[in-house]
Amino acid sequence: MSLTHINCNIFRGAGASTDNSSYVAVNPRSKPGSLVMGVSIAAKESISSQVACKLGLEHFMDGVLDYYDAKDAQGRLFPISLEVLEVAFKKANSSVYQFGHKLAAGGRMSSSLLGVVLEDKIIAAGKVGPGNVFLQRAGELFPFSEPAPPPSPTDFVAHEALIGAHSAVSVELASIPVEQGDGIIILPFHITRMQQLELEKLLKEDVVHKENAAAYICKHIFPDVFKIPFSACATLGPETIYLAQAV
């Protein structure tokens, strides 16, 4: 049986630019136990990067929803967490890359993209550019990728393969089975080893079950929380029975 109860809260700093970052969280199957989240951040404060940010996330979600619709229509079995991310990232990159070349802006239209799919007790995370996802279980923290120093504004593009920068994109993917009581933490930037240690300390306070967990975490590990474009925290379980039909 799927984990039927997902409690998710999202934080966005009051000073975060809506032109330079976008995010979305949906239940793609309209059924308990299913969740998809995505966040895109423009590579630069330029019109081309801002367009790439919006376009990349839009087509990422198009890829997700089209994939779910096709799977449901075929009666295929889940889990599909990693598979749907691969399809969605490919569609996002292709759309931004092709649009950029139509405008003679190839290579200059680029953004980061991070996506998370939770389906049938499997969570998968994929990212192109900065950001990280963590699994919290029994007070321990498990990162989906290794901590890294945050890039400066001048080397963001030079040191990251971003959505729309090339015709093909390399996506960092990982997945893991989840259990009742697990917590999921999504952050928009790389964090250093010291920041990860601070995050581990917060877990001892059972921070993932706080009412505003995402905001609480950001305020403790990021120096400029005012401009945080997106962070999320979700807890899984306990199992809940939903009545599908009134009698």
CATH of residue 169's domain is 3.60.40.10
In a domain? residue 242: no
- Amino acid present at 182: D
Total domains in the fold of the chain:
1
**Nearest 5°: CA angle at 67, between 101 and 5?**
125
Q: What are the pLDDT tens digits along the chain (247 aa)? A: 567 789 999 999 999 999 999 999 999 988 888 899 999 999 888 888 899 999 999 999 999 999 988 876 666 555 578 889 999 999 999 999 998 888 775 557 889 999 999 988 899 999 999 899 999 998 889 999 866 555 554 444 443 579 988 888 899 999 999 999 999 999 998 888 888 899 999 988 888 888 899 999 999 999 889 999 999 999 998 877 767 666 6
In a domain? residue 80: yes
Tell me the residue range of the domain where 178 lies: 6-236
In a domain? residue 150: yes
HSE-up of residue 20 (Cα within 13 Å, Cβ side):
13
State which H helix or E strand residue 92 sits in: helix 81-102
